[in-house]
């Protein structure tokens, strides 16, 4: 009995042992040659993961929310119009942030379990000149996956900047930042990128950097201002010492380690692994007479799954039974339905064995609570899905 727990929430996730070891190394000076090299490498590796050879990467201590804040505060000036395309809790966060910087916001909210239609987005873009639009790639509150490409195409057509919240998608879902022409793709370290919480990461396009350079008013956020951070990123990339705010040395060492693991696997293979496991997992969940929050498979995320509690089953009791079996899953997050569903994260280092453990523990808990199902059904389904040829 090791009392090992399996952390299956949508971030923080289970981290690779090498990443945790890297994190535990003796802290060096932030201007030590070795660390400068690590920082520079990390910036370069980010471009590979984001598929943005032309973009400007930023690595700053903070959370995913800081990355959202950084994108909006640098690109938006008082009175600018921002179109928020929302499929849950994190979409609305963009509205709050944009308003804080004086933006004139319009929010298009998807019906529960669905995505916002392209028609309604185009109609808005035709009606008003928007400075930027925001997309939540995977909304972690609903497990909804949005296809960013056609939205980025519309943004280009109507001369609007596109900002993609990739906190629950970067290094898990398909992203081609430069090819798709997305102006900012942002994330936080603790999700699919596989590093303990504490880093805000983003890549801005050349167009985004030009828009920022041509601002008429100063950025209304001192810490997030690219004026402070761009020279630092440039210095590290040119392998020169520099200072604005002390970088999170150990986290950045861990980041380099994780980015190397990701690039070694290769982004295409990594996306395919996430997709294969997620599809098999959704089929297995459905075989237990459980309902998923996303209405169709095409808009279901591959980094997490949101599942309704079955009728007559007490959600709190279910989650505590699962936790007692040393598997940690997450409850609901979207206020309207918070107590009627739960979420399982499956991103980063996730393997089929992890998901088999989740299914086994979930089955026992459901059977214990009297849910009508056949014991072993989801395990059998999962195995059969995995054994199917591609
Ligand atoms: C987790 C998450 C965030 C917020 O990230 P923090 O690191 O918690 O600040 C934002 N957007 C999405 C889609 C997320 O999953």
The last residue of one of the domains, among 219, 237, 265, is 265
Q: Please check whether residue 218 lies inside any domain of the structure.
A: yes
At 341 the pLDDT is 98
Q: What is the DSSP string of 321-356?
A: HHHHTTEE-B---SGGGGGGEEEEE--TT--HHHHH
250 C-alpha to center of ligand 1: Å?
A: 21
pLDDT tens by residue, 244-281: 999 999 999 999 999 999 999 999 999 999 999 999 99
Could you tell me if 68 and 170 are in contact, meaning their C-beta atoms sit under 8 angstroms apart?
no
Q: Is 65 in the pocket of ligand 1 (CB under 6 A)?
A: yes
**Shared domain check, 195 and 280:** no
Is 72 in the same domain as 112? yes
Tell me phi and psi for residue 3, to 5 degrees.
65, 30
- Cα within 13 Å of Cα(324), Cβ side: 9
Pocket flag, ligand 1, residue 64 (CB < 6 Å): yes
In a domain, residue 158? The reply is yes
Is the CB of 140 within 6 Å of ligand 1?
A: yes
Residue 376 lies in a domain: yes
Query: What does the pLDDT look like over 288-335, one tens digit per residue?
Result: 999 999 999 999 999 999 999 999 999 999 999 999 999 999 999 999
pTM, rounded to two decimals: 0.98
Do 163 and 299 have their domain in common?
no
Are 236 and 309 part of one and the same domain?
no
With tokens 């929010």, the residue in question is 107
Closest residue CA from atom 8 of ligand 1: 64
Ligand 1 pocket residue status of 142, Cβ below 6 Å: no
Assess whether 276 and 216 both reside in one domain: no
- Is residue 1 in some structural domain? no
- Check if 94 has its Cβ closer than 6 Å to any atom of ligand 1: no
Q: Are residues 326 and 360 in the same domain?
A: yes
What are the tens digits of pLDDT across the range 223-243? 999 999 999 999 999 999 999
Separation CA 346–CA 29 (nearest Å): 35
Cβ partners under 8 Å of residue 353, min gap 6:
none
Residue 34: which CATH number?
3.40.640.10
Taking the CA of residue 200 as reference, the ligand 1 atom at the shortest distance is: 7
Ligand 1: distance of its center to the CA of 2 in Å?
31
Range of the domain at 299: 6-11+266-387
The total domain count for the chain is: 2
Choose between 68 and 1: higher pLDDT: 68
Query: d(Cα 330, Cα 343) in Å, to the nearest integer?
Result: 5
What proportion of the chain, given as a percentage, has pLDDT over 70? 99
Question: Mutate which of 9, 10, 11, 306 to test ligand 1's pocket (most atoms within 8 Å of Cβ)?
Answer: 11
In this structure, the answer to whether residues 240 and 326 fall within a common structural domain is: no
Residue that finishes a domain, picked among 265, 300, 328: 265
User: Could you tell me if residue 256 is inside a domain?
Assistant: yes
41 lies in the same domain as 125? yes
Residues 160 and 255 in one domain: yes
Same domain membership, residue 255 and residue 383? no
Rg (alpha carbons) of the chain, rounded to whole number:
21
């Amino acid at each position: 009995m090791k009392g090992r727990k399996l952390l299956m929430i949508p971030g923080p996730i289970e981290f690779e042992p090498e990443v945790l070891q890297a994190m535990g190394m003796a802290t060096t000076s932030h201007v030590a040659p070795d660390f400068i090299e690590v920082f520079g490498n990390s910036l370069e590796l980010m471009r590979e993961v984001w598929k943005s050879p032309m973009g400007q990467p930023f690595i700053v201590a903070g959370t995913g929310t800081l990355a959202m804040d950084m994108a909006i505060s640098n690109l938006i000036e008082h009175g600018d119009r921002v179109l928020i395309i929302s499929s849950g809790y994190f979409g609305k966060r963009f509205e709050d942030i944009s308003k804080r910087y004086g933006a004139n916001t319009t929010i298009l909210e998807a019906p529960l379990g669905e995505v916002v239609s392209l028609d309604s987005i185009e109609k808005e873009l035709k009606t008003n000149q928007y400075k930027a639009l925001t997309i939540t790639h995977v909304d972690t509150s609903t497990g909804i996956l949005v296809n960013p490409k056609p939205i980025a195409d519309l943004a280009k057509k109507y001369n609007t900047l596109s900002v993609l919240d990739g906190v629950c998608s970067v290094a898990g879902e398909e992203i081609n930042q430069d090819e798709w022409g997305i102006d900012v793709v942002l994330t936080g370290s603790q999700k699919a990128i596989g590093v303990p919480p504490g880093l805000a990461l983003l890549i801005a396009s050349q167009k985004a950097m030009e828009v920022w350079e041509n601002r008429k008013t100063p950025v209304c956020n001192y810490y997030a201002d690219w004026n402070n951070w761009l020279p630092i990123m440039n210095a590290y990339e040119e392998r020169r010492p520099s200072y604005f705010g002390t970088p999170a040395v150990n986290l950045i060492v861990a980041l380099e380690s994780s980015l190397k693991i990701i690039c070694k696997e290769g982004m295409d293979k990594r996306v395919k692994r996430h997709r294969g496991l997620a599809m098999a997992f959704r089929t297995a969940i459905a075989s237990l007479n459980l309902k998923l929050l996303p209405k169709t498979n095409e808009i279901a995320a591959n980094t997490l799954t949101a599942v309704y509690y079955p009728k007559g089953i007490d959600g709190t009791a279910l989650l505590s039974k699962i936790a007692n079996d040393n598997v940690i899953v997450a409850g609901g997050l979207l206020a309207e339905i918070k107590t009627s569903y739960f979420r399982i994260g499956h991103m980063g280092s996730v393997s089929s064995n992890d998901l088999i453990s989740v299914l086994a523990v979930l089955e026992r808990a459901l059977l214990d609570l009297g849910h009508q199902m056949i014991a072993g059904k989801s395990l059998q389904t999962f195995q059969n899905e995995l054994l199917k040829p591609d």
